[in-house]
Structure 1
Amino acid sequence: MKAGIGDSGNVAASAKAGVKWTAGFADLDPVEFPMLWALTPYGDAVFNQRQVPLLLAELDRLPADLGGDWVAQARELCQIVERGLHLYLWFIGD
């Protein structure tokens, strides 16, 4: 899965690391992790400026075995979305 930031169809930034999909993502509690639970290996997920703080809080609680380089890169992209206007964080499935 790749992550990037789009503004009116243009990519403002992107991540180099992808999410390594494991069964652990499917097992996340949708009540405790509603933003991360939206991720699927084949579909896209889009987060707006109001959802990004929720996503960041979930990344803080993410089990270590689901982490990796993608988490730090997702945090950086979240910060760009928070500072910008009309930006969205996209996780693009395979």
Structure 2
Amino acid sequence: MSRDAELRERVRNAIHSGQSLDQVVALLRDAGCSKGQSIIVLADATSMDMAAATAAVNGGQVWKEQRVQDESLNAGLWDTMSHHGKPQSDGSTDLTDWLERQD
């Protein structure tokens, strides 16, 4: 059985056992699915149209939490770059030096 077929079966079983769409989306995320893959698997497994599957995945709590985490990581990276990314006369940056010191 292919991975996608296995995921579709897991989604069908989860829905049949009474799990909410949010729980099903979390199941897909925990299985390592990207947002796009989650949409496709959900649509295939439930005969849901793509718009409804997209809305279910985008509205899922797991992806909201992921977005918050991504925003936090991006803010941290931006802060690091703004403090350590200044070009030096030799073409390196403070960030390059900082990263080398982390090894």
TM-score of the superposition, structure 1-length normalised? 0.35
Q: Given the two structures, how large is their TM-score scaled by the length of structure 2? A: 0.33
Larger strand proportion of the pair: 1
Q: Name whichever structure is richer in helix by fraction.
A: 2
